[in-house]
Structure formats: structure tokens, C-alpha cells
Chains A and B, each alone.
Chain A
Amino acid sequence: MNDRVPVVVFIGQPNCGKSTLFNAIAGFRAQTSNFPGTTVCHAHSEVVWKEKVYSIVDLPGTYSLIPQEPQEKVALTHIFQEKPDLIVNVIDASLLCRSLELTVELLELEYPMVVVLNMMDLAEKKGMKIEAEALEKKLGVPVIKTVATRGQGTRDLMDWVERVLAERRMPRHLRYSGEVESRIKQLTEILPSDFPVIANPRFTAIRAIEAEMLAVDNFFLENNPEFKRGLDRIRREISALREAPAYEVLAAERHHLALKIFEDCCRVSHARVSGLEKLDNFIMHPVLGLFLLLLIFAGMFYLIFRVGSPLEAWLLKPWEALRLGIQERFEQNLLAGLLVGLVQGVGGGVAIVFPYFIPLLLMMGFLEDIGYLARAGFLMDAFMHRLGLHGKSVPLFILGFGCNVPAIMATRILESRRDRIITALLIPFIPCAARTTIILALVAFLLGPWWALGFYLLNLVVVAVLSSILTRIFKYSSPGLILEIPSLKWPSLKNILQKTYLNLKEFVRFAWPILIAGSVLLSLLSYLNFDRLVNTVLSPFVSGMLGLPPGLGLTLVFGFLRKELSLLMMFQALGVGYEQLLSVISRAQLLTFVTFVNFFIPCLSTLAILWKELGRRIALVSVGLNLSVAVLVSWLVRLAFAIF
């Protein structure tokens, strides 16, 4: 028998709840290897169901099998090249009609397939009655109803996955109208023997007719002049049938198939206007919507600050006591130094990062899940055009407030490479959760919330100015905005908690150890007096130019690993606890320090993702850009304080 683990691929249009379904199933059992964002572009998990192992892959959403955006290419490469054993086509049942167009395309692959009607609750609310049996008959594949947010139907799905795989049930493609179908057949007959066939000859022929650029290069066509002539003739003939470009004729064929199926399998009665729709009118209102946008973000940070700062003060106490205790008990020796480093690293993670980090993650999760990000993009588009970008970058910037890494990954939704590069260069300037922590924990906690607000404004101004400059350098009018606005959905608490938990786990597993190790390392270095060396080398810059205590030189360097590290190390380097900080440095110095850390080169993981996504050159440009902006702006801050 074949012992290979069968590969099951989840594919569907964006926002159909694929990932929620994936999580609901991956939670079933066994080793979830979920690398959020950083290492792979798709989530992948081994799932055990009834004592059999399945390898389940969650691909990024794609509207059709003709890639338009870089992220869709990821999905397609996977489907075309790594022939999955089974396709699970996830459909947002409330958008059945449009979603079926992708289903029709997927059926053309003739891979074993299962269709999942997800979000059934939403469809019912919209007054849609979908007859699954009728749909099954039309499509020739099993249809399963699910509500992924509540985990409904997932067991059913896995049962069908098992069955279809065991039976090796291959679906049949649906037939286009005769005159089109016969032309496709003609092309399959003249496909050269060395033509790279995807899935089957018919699918390959359709792809060849549709594709602007062929899957094979022009070189191939030049060597097969006969095929090229045939292809051109068939394209012309198809085009003449409907007086439209050949690709549109084929798309229209699928559209009509989908429409017919939809009409035969789904009855729609009048739907009530839901509360969410009324809310949506308010959110999308040209004036009120913008107010709300401001209010949401101001409110969000205010709330995080109100929750975070008392919590921080309360959590800091025991660690401070512990630190002082150690310093009193032991003399100035290596052990004491290392212990203090350890306590500050561990305590810093608990008391400084968690009170701000967790609330921010929760709120970002809420905004993401309800569908607010695309709406912010719509509202802000006009402003973004003034800065040379368009509204599609806005959701990415907002994501960046959570963490820069997934935001840079998500730049794949931008069609033009120019927009992608500029957005990716700007994202590292967005204060991520780590930097928000520093801003709130230092500036707001010690100087007051207004200072923090001012700091945020400064930050946004810097991003805006940089954007104008960058877009002027890479001149090119960006294509207009085309952005789907998905319907508002009540977020599920479970989903948000799960996302927050995953991010938190990531922090505890990767970032916290770095914080602790960095803290201990600094103790060691200062015991060996190595820090003096680095600080002396850096002092013309650190104290000469920025006017900071020379002792902070090394901490700035360490900020590259994790931004919070600079914060923790600052206390250590200055040898004071939290509350006494302002007794050793001035306000101006504090702000200069925070400014520098904030804009300083992207942290290690951000740099890695930039490198991977956009190449070494862009990553290095990003480092240079951040470094120069950090130096310039923090110097300006110092100057401003000197003058006023």
C-alpha cells in the first residue's frame, strides 16, 4: 500500500473563512506546525483523523485560477506544481453565485474535490436557501455545509475527505457551450507533445487561450510556429463568437455555468436589513466614517494605555523588589550581575510587554475580523493618493501596528511592484506592538499621555513625508484602487482569542528568550567592561550628536534584535529602576532615545522578512533608510528641545 501522507489543499476566494476552517480542523489533533507569517507563505498542518494522517495546506485566497496578485500566484503554483491529492474548495455560502465561478474552474482540473459551503449561518440570515443535494448533483462532488466559526460541520468534512480519497473519486468538468467547447478540443489536439500539461489537456488548452502570457515562454511558441498559428486562429474564432476578447468569452462561459447552477440550487427570499448593515452605512459615511476612524484609533490606544499603565505599575513592583534584594544581598560580582540581568529580562517581559501587547493584539484581532481594514482603505484612499500611494496600502499599515512582519508579508495583495516596495519600506516606520509598548511604557507612563499622542503624530508625519519623497523617487502613476469590501461580520471571540494566543506564543517562544538573553548578555558584557569599549566608540554619536548618556550606546545596538530590548537594557545600563528613570536623564534625552529606537533599523525578524519577500537590495535600502531617518529625526527632537 501507499504510505504517503495525502495532501489536502484548502482553496477559496479571499474572506471565505478558509483559515478559520483550517484552524478548526487543525485543532483536532497532533503537531500543528503553524509558522505565523515568517517562514512560509501558507499554513500547513498534519491532522490525524480516525487514525490516519493528513497533510492539510491552507492557501492564500484567490479569486480565480488566473493570477492577478502576487499572493494568488502562491496559491496557484501550489495547485499546479505540487498536485494535491484532494482539493477542498471553501465557499462563502452567502456569496455562492460569485464563488461558484472559482469552483467551475477548479472542477476543470479534475482533481478529487470536495466543496464546503461555509458561513451557512450568514447565508441563512440573508434569506438564502441552498439545496446541497441539488448542488452536489450539478457539480458532481460532495457538498458539505459548515459554520467554521462555531466548528459546525468540520467532522462531516473530514469524513468526506477520507471517503473521497479512498474512492479516488475524480470529478468531471462542466461543459461550455458547444461552439466554444469544440474550439478548445481543437487546441488540445494540436498541443505539441512537449507542451507542459497542467492537470489535463483541456485545462491546459483553456489556460493557453486565456493567458495573456502563456505558461510557456515565447521561445516555445517560436519553435512551434504551427501551434502558435493554431492558437491565434482559435483565439480569433472564439473572440468572433461573442465579439469580445477570447479570455472574456471563456470567463463568461464559466460565469453562466455558475449562474445557472446558482439559480437551480438556491432560492432567495427577502432579507431583512441587519443591524450590521446599518452600522456599515455609518462606517462608510464619507465624513462620519473618517471621524469614526480617528476615534477608533485614538480610543484604541487610549484604552490600551488605561489598561496597561496601572497593570504595568502593579506588575513591576515584585520584580523591582527582587532586583533590589539581589543587589543588596550580593556584592558587585559576576553572579549578582547575571542574576539582575535575568530578573530584568524576565520581569521586563511580564511587566512591560504584556500589559500593552495583549490588549493591542486583541483589539487588532477584532478590527481584522469584523472587516474594518478594507473599509479604512476605502476611506483613506484620497489621502493616500496625496502621498502617492492608494488606499489598498492602508490595511497593511494598520496591520503594521500589530507587527511589521505579517504586514510586509501581506504587501502581496498590491498588484504593482512599485507600490509593494514603497509600502514595504514604509511599514518598518509604523510603530508595531513592541514600539507601542516602549512609547506607552516610557513616554506615556513617565511624561503623560499627551506626550505619547504627540509622539504618534510625529510618527505619522514622518511616514507621510517619507511616502511623498519615496513616491517621487519611484515615479509612476499607481493603478487605481480596486478593492473588495467584504460584508461586516460579527467577529467570533474564539477566533480572536486563538489569534492572540498564537501571537503570544510566538512572543514567548522567540522574543522573550531574546529579551532575557540580551539582558543577561549585557550584564556579562558590563562585568567584562566590554560595554565601555562599545560605548566609547559610539559616544561621539550617542552623546555628541544626540546628547544622550554615553552608557546608552550599547543598548541602541541591541535594539536591532528586539525593540523592547533597548528599553530593558536602558534601565540596566543606567543602573536605575523604572520610577527613578527621570532622575538620571532629562525629558529631552528620554524622547530623543525613544525616537531613535523607534525609527532605528527594522528589527531582526522584519529585516528577514523584507529580505525574503523583496530581496536583499530592498532590505539593505530599508536599513539605510531607517538608520538615516532615526538619526535625523532624533537629532531634530534634541534640537527642538534645545531651542524651546
Chain B
Amino acid sequence: MFGHRKNQAERQLIAGRVCSLLEIPQGQKFRILEIKGGPGLHRRLLSLGFHRGDLVALDGEALLGGPILVKNLNSDTRIALGRGIARKILVEPVDDNER
């Protein structure tokens, strides 16, 4: 459904490893496992269409510790997240063919 395909060699599998959105490489698919932090943040993300279980990918980064750009592959929306917030969102890698 969504444009970019990485070739096999470029694709490094970080099997089963849970990490925060801050640590993921660009372009690969990840699944949101948990959103830490208070209900305020959680509700905001929910209303923007970011739920647990959604597939996301890193789409870009700004300079100098600026925000990251996260694409939600389920709803095809993009949001900019400050690093403090990105750190609170835990994800795990998923296989490219899974949806």
C-alpha cells in the first residue's frame, strides 16, 4: 500500500528488540507497543490517530536535536514529535511483508 521498498541487503533485522522511536533507522516498519507517559500525551496521540499496534516508520529528522517525523502506515498520516516524546514511545520491528 505504501510506496517505498527497501532491498534485502539494506534491510537489517533487529529481531525482537524493543526500542524507542528515537532509536529506529529510517524507512523500516515498526509496531507501536507502548506509549509511556501520562494520560495527557496518550490521549493526544490517540486523537491524532496513533494507537498501540499501529505500524509506523521514521520519515525524517530535523537538525540539532530537533523533532523527528513519524509516519503512521495504517492511517497514512505524519506527525512531528519532539525527542522527549519520541523517547516515550516503544516500538518493535516487524517484517516488511506484514501489515
Contacts and interface: CB of A to CB of B under 8 A. Distances in A.
Interface of A: 63-64, 66, 68, 94-95, 97-98, 101, 126, 212, 244-245, 247-248, 251-252, 255, 259, 268, 270-271, 273, 277, 284-287, 290, 374, 377-379, 381-383, 385, 390-391, 415, 479-485, 487
Interface string B72-99: 0011111111111100000000000000
A482 B48 contact: yes
A483 B80 contact: yes
Contact of B69 (A284, A382, A390, A480): A284
A97 B1 CA distance: 14
Contacts of B84: 480
Contacts of B60: 284-286
Interface string B38-50: 0111111111110
Interface in B38-69: 39-49, 51-52, 59-67, 69
A346 to B, nearest CB: 47
19 contacts: A64-B46, A97-B76, A212-B40, A251-B47, A255-B51, A268-B1, A271-B3, A286-B61, A286-B63, A381-B82, A382-B64, A390-B82, A391-B67, A479-B41, A481-B80, A481-B82, A482-B41, A482-B80, A484-B78
B78 A252 contact: no
B40 to A, nearest CB: 8
A237 to B, nearest CB: 18
Contact of A480 (B59, B64, B75, B83): B83
A215 B80 CA distance: 31
Contacts of A485: 69, 78-80
Q: Which 6 A-B pairs have the closest CB atoms?
A: A480-B82, A382-B66, A98-B49, A481-B82, A480-B85, A63-B47
A248 B62 contact: no
Nearest to B72: A98
A377 B59 CA distance: 16
A414 B63 CA distance: 23
B51 A95 contact: no
B57 to A, nearest CB: 14
A337 B56 CA distance: 70
A248 B44 CA distance: 11
B22 to A, nearest CB: 12
For the residues of B in contact with A, the DSSP-based class is: mixed
Nearest to B71: A485
A129 B47 CA distance: 25
B49 A101 contact: yes
Contact of B81 (A64, A287, A415, A482): A482
B63 A482 contact: no
Nearest to B83: A480
Contacts of A126: 76
Interface residues of B, number: 37
Contacts of B63: 286-287, 290, 379, 382
Given A378-B66, A381-B67, A485-B80, A245 B44 contact: no
A340 to B, nearest CB: 54
Contacts of A273: 3
A95 B75 contact: yes
A195 B46 CA distance: 28
A66 B80 contact: no
Nearest to B2: A271
B87 to A, nearest CB: 9
A103 to B, nearest CB: 13
Contacts of A248: 42, 46, 52
A482 B44 contact: yes
A265 to B, nearest CB: 15
B75 to A, nearest CB: 4
A282 to B, nearest CB: 11
A247 B43 contact: yes
Given A286-B62, A378-B62, A480-B84, A251 B77 contact: no
A382 B48 contact: no
Given A63-B47, A245-B39, A391-B66, 18 more contacts: A68-B43, A68-B47, A98-B49, A98-B77, A252-B52, A286-B66, A287-B63, A374-B80, A378-B67, A378-B80, A381-B80, A382-B64, A382-B65, A390-B82, A415-B44, A479-B41, A485-B78, A485-B79
B67 A252 contact: no
Contacts of B69: 284, 378, 485
Nearest to B46: A251
Contacts of A374: 80
Contact of A377 (B41, B74, B78, B80): B80
Contacts of A94: 76
Contacts of B41: 479, 482
Contacts of B40: 212
Nearest to A487: B78
Nearest to B34: A244
Contact of A251 (B51, B61, B65): B51
B74 A97 contact: yes
Interface string B15-54: 0000000000000000000000001111111111101100
A251 B35 CA distance: 14
A401 to B, nearest CB: 21
Q: Which of B40, B44, B52, B66 has the most CB of A within 10 A?
A: B66
Contacts of B39: 212, 245, 247
Contacts of A483: 67, 79-80
A379 B51 contact: no
A379 B64 CA distance: 10
A484 B81 contact: no
Contacts of A385: 65-66
A252 B54 CA distance: 11
A285 B59 CA distance: 10
